[in-house]
Structure 1
Amino acid sequence: MSERQTNRPLVLAAVMLTMFMGAIEATIVATAMPDIVADLGGFSLYSWVFSAYLLMNAATVLIYGKLSDIFGRRPVLFAGIFIFLIGSILCGFAVSLEQLIVYRFIQGIGAGAIMPVATTIVGDIYTKEERAKVQGYLASVWGISAVSGPAIGGLLVEFVSWRWVFWINVPLGIISVIILFLYLHEKVEKKKPEIDYIGTILFLISVSAFMYLLVEAGKTAYTVPLLAAGIISLVFFVIHERRTPAPMIPFHLWKVRPILIANVVSLTTGVMLIGISTFLPTYVQGVMGESATVAGFTLTAMSIGWPLASSLSGRLLLSAGYRTTTLIGGAALLAGGLMFVFMDPSFGPWWAAASSFVTGVGMGLTSTAFIVSIQNSVDWHERGAATASNMFMRNIGNTIGAALLGGVLNSRLAAYLQNEPDAPASLSVDSINQLLGEGEGMTGKARLILSEGLTSSLHAVYWVVFFFAVVSFVLLLFLKKGD
């Protein structure tokens, strides 16, 4: 980077705005989803709206990082933002949930560039001594976006239209591109491209096959061929990654125990995170009967707990050590998971918000400690790859979680309606569309049965979330005091 020409404060502001646009996407869409399915229908495809975005994000995040080393940060980030905005505009014009899912694929392809390349730009233009302070600014973006996302989403849904949840990205993206175009100047050293195309394709086939099986929960006629395709492509992916000189995932880093545990726990907490952020608004609106705004604020509670705990995590690491800090975080995840398991509609949205807050504390303590530990466990020349592997595993956890928990919800709800003797024959999983649309055109009996079915099904989802909290805590016990 040429610091003499680059206007660092303006570039930092543009990078933070770009990261805000990417970070706000998950919570703002989750808040709007009940109204989206009420308008477009297709509740059985609910989780695919998240899975499509997360899959392409996870599949492309490491590739964009390598492309930015070859072609420069600016053109690669611009390309990512452009694709992301095209996807956002199309999402706002969707007339069916199937269309929305396709457009979310496009949005996810662009989103893969935003976080890694934006973070790399900051590393390029600031010295080692300055980065610690600047990373604090970047961390605040996550807190601000997480707190404001559900609130903005709820207000847009209630007073304008759910379509603006996607269109709001357009002015943010355009402003970022203009500032970066005018004030970011870089000297690019031409390098021979070393992009792991084969590994990317094998990975994408494997994850897509497994995710489709999880979402459909055995209801597809192609279960056996899909399972075979997933396993075979995964095996070849691992073999290829071990042999290629420029692997998509550097497996040798996983031999370092703190990195291994941090990455596996990031995957399990990623499942928890998507389970709560995706399905809590549905519970608050569909079961508790609250508005989209109230549902958004219950998610905001987690977003308040997270940055507060992240700032506390730094102090705890110095005073109590890494193992103690992560175990306290793991205990908070257990407590939050239990609160969701015991949540009852009569408890009201305050219980949902408190459960979110406690879970957010656990996420903040563990995620911050993981990054510090990973960066301390490797030399400088591997620090970027090691940090990216943790981000990658969190993304994969989100992707698997959206598919797995969507499958649990759909199968449990279908089983409940099938086994309920008083359920009208017309009721199905997609009848939830009407329930989330305030039950218009439904009898009181049908509304009650659907509400009870949704309660039972979401309860099963939260049991799975708690299971992953237990797994996370058990894995953290394997850390030693010296790690």
Structure 2
Amino acid sequence: MDSEKQSPPNGNPPADRAAAGPDAAVAEANASTSKGWRFWAVFPALCITTLLAAVEATVVSTALPVIVHEIGAGEEYVWILNAYLLTSCAFMPLLGQLADIWGRRYLMILVVVLFALGAGIAGGANNLAMMVAGRAIQGIGGGGVNFIIQLIICDLVPLRERGNYMGILFLFFTIGTAMGPFIGGAIVERASWRWVFYINLPIAGAALVLHLLFLQVKYEKKGTLGEKLRRIDWIGNILLIAAVVSVLIALSWGGTRYPWGAAQVVVPLVLGLVGLVLFHLYETAPWVAVPILPERLFTRRTPAAGLVIAFLDALLLFWVTYFFPAYLQAVKGQSPIESGVNFLPTSIISVLTGVVCGVVLSKTGRYRPMHFLAFGFQSLGLGLFSCLNSETPKAEFIGVQVLFALGIGFLIASNLPAIQADLPDKDASVSAAAFNFMRGYGGIWGVSVPAAIFNARCDAEAWRVTDLAVRQHLTNGRAYGFVASSVQAGTAGMSPEAQAQVTDVFTQSLRMTWQVGLAFSLLGFFLVFVEKEIVLRTTLETEYGLKENEGEGKRAKGDVEAAKSTDLSDETK
């Protein structure tokens, strides 16, 4: 079927509604109700909860060196970051099943509580084990918060309108991520680092109160506790979590703690990849009644392409988020705070673009042009990043940043609707969970892959440095860790000649890093050709919408009965 003429799987084109029978009329009567005060009471609560997860995404980065020193984390400090990233990704499909079994309201309250609990444990940590445990719990809550917010939007507004509200939520997310480094720096300078985590508690408390008061959504309580527990795909979840953990261990150790060819890296990486294959095979088995990632998500070409695009988008976002500041610090010689300020255009431009694209998507219903533009701008930006060096003027590297940020923005509001366009509304939970899982998994690779490329290239280019003591810092996987120290204490003892040589090594290594990133972006561009341009539904069929008061319920019931009566009369005639 041609792209513009493709119909959604559970909707009917306007011209065909009259012939679609009573079910279509009933569905439209249910879905066409206007947004009342209940919706506008829920939406601010979602925005504040988004802010909660967003601040945590970046606030720890500024305070990390102090935290590592205070608790004696040593070389294992990376797990303070990885534990959060790991659980926020690996538990996503499980949360998707729980949302369908126990409803959205209770799960939202649970993930906010888990987020606050994890923050409290991390804030009170006196050793690495306690810190990692707190961050792992916090990651389940943080990932769950982002997922449930998206899912509630899917339950409350038709597919065609979701871009508008997703864009607004991402605006709050960007405000939080932009505030994070400054909040973290201010806390470390003026108070204890523990308040980096404790600051989440009052925000979580406010979010909980708002959700308890206003998040009144439908939920059909059916089945005993035992029946509900049996609906969970326990084996699938265990296989997936174990595989993701194994891959993350390999990516965390590879090129840093151990060489990439060492058994400590190869074995967990192979086990993780094999585990993912076994997980996929198990999920397609006929005896799996409710798989966590149903096969239909990957056999329909548009959802499948959209999920891979989500993976690549997150991979490239993390790629640039970690390595553009490395360019600013290691090549341009800026301080961490200066590089943070100069990186703000990426956050600001991407979200403003996302908000505008959300409106355009709602007006036009077309997502493929946005996806082409997204990877076109990202590819252009990554290609130009490889031309940057120590002599590049500020206006130029800011302008290149803007190009990449535009590409990120085009996907913010259009990626998830594209995935859901060829799936019924009843798949909102599993599709949103798969989307967030793929983005989280892309983030894991988006940190590890460019770090491996950068370190390996620095190893190969280290011969340029004549000072043997400095050269040692650039080899054996230590180059990325040397970036910060070379900007701060490291350059103090270097000769101007050594500083110039180190800058040259970093420039050459970053060039290769950007070029590999460009290859991933071009892959995303060609994947857009796989997608179909499917008509975005303007109706909504869900059992998890807002609860109605008695008067609203009677009016809605009357609309449905009237729709049925009209169809029966038409059939009689």
Given that 1:151 and 1:300 are in contact with CA atoms closer than 8 Å, whether structure 2 keeps it comes out as no
- The 1:413–1:154 alpha-carbon spacing in structure 2 relative to 1, beyond 3 Å, is farther
Q: Using the TM superposition, give the Cα deviation of residue 280 of structure 1 relative to its aligned residue in structure 2, in angstroms.
A: 2.6
Alignment partner, residue 95 of structure 2? 64
Given that 1:16 and 1:138 are in contact with CA atoms closer than 8 Å, whether structure 2 keeps it comes out as no
CA distance in structure 1 between the aligned counterparts of 2:501 and 2:72, rounded to whole angstroms: 19
Given that 2:370 and 2:411 are in contact with CA atoms closer than 8 Å, whether structure 1 keeps it comes out as yes
1:324 and 2:369 equivalent? yes
Q: Which segment drifts farther, 224-233 or 99-108?
A: 99-108
Alignment partner, residue 513 of structure 2? 461
- The 1:67–1:156 alpha-carbon spacing in structure 2 relative to 1, beyond 3 Å, is same
- The 1:371–1:232 alpha-carbon spacing in structure 2 relative to 1, beyond 3 Å, is closer
Deviations 1:283-306 (A, max 9, x none): 323432324343223332122222
CA distance in structure 1 between the aligned counterparts of 2:73 and 2:392, rounded to whole angstroms: 29
CA distance in structure 2 between the aligned counterparts of 1:451 and 1:35, rounded to whole angstroms: 27
CA distance in structure 2 between the aligned counterparts of 1:274 and 1:365, rounded to whole angstroms: 16
Higher helix content, 1 or 2 = 1
SS state of the match for residue 322, structure 2?
A: helix
Q: Using the TM superposition, give the Cα deviation of residue 207 of structure 1 relative to its aligned residue in structure 2, in angstroms.
A: 2.2
Deviations 1:25-70 (A, max 9, x none): 3344456667877998989767655443222111112212322333
Q: Which segment drifts farther, 327-336 or 442-451?
A: 442-451
Deviations 1:77-131 (A, max 9, x none): 233223223333454566788875554333212223212223344555x4x47x8
**Matched positions, count:** 477
1:176 to 196, 207, 216: 207
1:247 to 291, 313, 317: 291
- The 1:373–1:11 alpha-carbon spacing in structure 2 relative to 1, beyond 3 Å, is closer
CA distance in structure 2 between the aligned counterparts of 1:391 and 1:176, rounded to whole angstroms: 21
CA distance in structure 2 between the aligned counterparts of 1:392 and 1:233, rounded to whole angstroms: 16
Alignment partner, residue 136 of structure 1? 164
- The 1:221–1:379 alpha-carbon spacing in structure 2 relative to 1, beyond 3 Å, is closer
CA distance in structure 1 between the aligned counterparts of 2:302 and 2:328, rounded to whole angstroms: 38
Alignment partner, residue 307 of structure 2? 263
Q: Which segment drifts farther, 156-165 or 104-113?
A: 156-165
2:245 to 186, 197, 208: 208
SS state of the match for residue 266, structure 1?
A: helix
Given that 1:215 and 1:406 are in contact with CA atoms closer than 8 Å, whether structure 2 keeps it comes out as no
Given that 2:306 and 2:531 are in contact with CA atoms closer than 8 Å, whether structure 1 keeps it comes out as no
1:77 to 108, 113, 131: 108
2:280 to 216, 223, 238: 238
- The 1:51–1:351 alpha-carbon spacing in structure 2 relative to 1, beyond 3 Å, is farther
- The AA in structure 2 aligned to 1:154 is F
Deviations 1:224-265 (A, max 9, x none): 432442243223211111121111111222222221221112
CA distance in structure 1 between the aligned counterparts of 2:348 and 2:268, rounded to whole angstroms: 41
SS state of the match for residue 410, structure 2?
A: helix
Q: Using the TM superposition, give the Cα deviation of residue 17 of structure 1 relative to its aligned residue in structure 2, in angstroms.
A: 0.9
CA distance in structure 2 between the aligned counterparts of 1:222 and 1:295, rounded to whole angstroms: 35
SS state of the match for residue 377, structure 1?
A: coil
2:482 to 395, 413, 432: 432
1:154 and 2:182 equivalent? yes
1:285 and 2:329 equivalent? yes
Q: Which segment drifts farther, 131-140 or 239-248?
A: 131-140
Q: Using the TM superposition, give the Cα deviation of residue 23 of structure 1 relative to its aligned residue in structure 2, in angstroms.
A: 3.0
Deviations 1:8-27 (A, max 9, x none): 54443222211221134334
Deviations 1:294-344 (A, max 9, x none): 322333212222233324435665669443332122211111111222222
CA distance in structure 1 between the aligned counterparts of 2:131 and 2:145, rounded to whole angstroms: 21
Which of the pair has more CA radius of gyration?
Answer: 2
Given that 1:51 and 1:403 are in contact with CA atoms closer than 8 Å, whether structure 2 keeps it comes out as no
Given that 1:305 and 1:364 are in contact with CA atoms closer than 8 Å, whether structure 2 keeps it comes out as yes
Given that 2:243 and 2:276 are in contact with CA atoms closer than 8 Å, whether structure 1 keeps it comes out as yes
Alignment partner, residue 346 of structure 2? 302
1:199 and 2:227 equivalent? no
Given that 1:154 and 1:294 are in contact with CA atoms closer than 8 Å, whether structure 2 keeps it comes out as no
Given that 1:341 and 1:466 are in contact with CA atoms closer than 8 Å, whether structure 2 keeps it comes out as no
CA distance in structure 2 between the aligned counterparts of 1:471 and 1:413, rounded to whole angstroms: 26
Q: Using the TM superposition, give the Cα deviation of residue 76 of structure 1 relative to its aligned residue in structure 2, in angstroms.
A: 2.5
Q: Which segment drifts farther, 84-93 or 207-216?
A: 84-93
CA distance in structure 1 between the aligned counterparts of 2:499 and 2:70, rounded to whole angstroms: 18
1:388 and 2:388 equivalent? no
Alignment partner, residue 477 of structure 1? 529
Alignment partner, residue 85 of structure 2? 54
- The 1:381–1:11 alpha-carbon spacing in structure 2 relative to 1, beyond 3 Å, is closer
SS state of the match for residue 248, structure 1?
A: coil
Query: What RMSD, in angstroms, separates the aligned Cα atoms of the two structures?
Result: 3.8
Unaligned runs of 5+ in 2: 1-36, 255-259, 536-573
Unaligned runs of 5+ in 1: 1-5
Given that 2:307 and 2:434 are in contact with CA atoms closer than 8 Å, whether structure 1 keeps it comes out as yes
Alignment partner, residue 3 of structure 1? none
SS state of the match for residue 150, structure 2?
A: helix
Alignment partner, residue 568 of structure 2? none
Given that 1:266 and 1:367 are in contact with CA atoms closer than 8 Å, whether structure 2 keeps it comes out as no
CA distance in structure 1 between the aligned counterparts of 2:326 and 2:291, rounded to whole angstroms: 40
Q: Using the TM superposition, give the Cα deviation of residue 416 of structure 1 relative to its aligned residue in structure 2, in angstroms.
A: 4.5
Alignment partner, residue 221 of structure 1? 263
Alignment partner, residue 411 of structure 2? 366
TM-score w.r.t. length of structure 1: 0.84
Alignment partner, residue 45 of structure 2? 14
CA distance in structure 2 between the aligned counterparts of 1:400 and 1:360, rounded to whole angstroms: 20
Q: Using the TM superposition, give the Cα deviation of residue 406 of structure 1 relative to its aligned residue in structure 2, in angstroms.
A: 2.8
Q: Using the TM superposition, give the Cα deviation of residue 204 of structure 1 relative to its aligned residue in structure 2, in angstroms.
A: 1.9
CA distance in structure 1 between the aligned counterparts of 2:387 and 2:85, rounded to whole angstroms: 29
Q: Using the TM superposition, give the Cα deviation of residue 176 of structure 1 relative to its aligned residue in structure 2, in angstroms.
A: 0.8
Given that 1:14 and 1:180 are in contact with CA atoms closer than 8 Å, whether structure 2 keeps it comes out as yes
CA distance in structure 2 between the aligned counterparts of 1:29 and 1:384, rounded to whole angstroms: 30
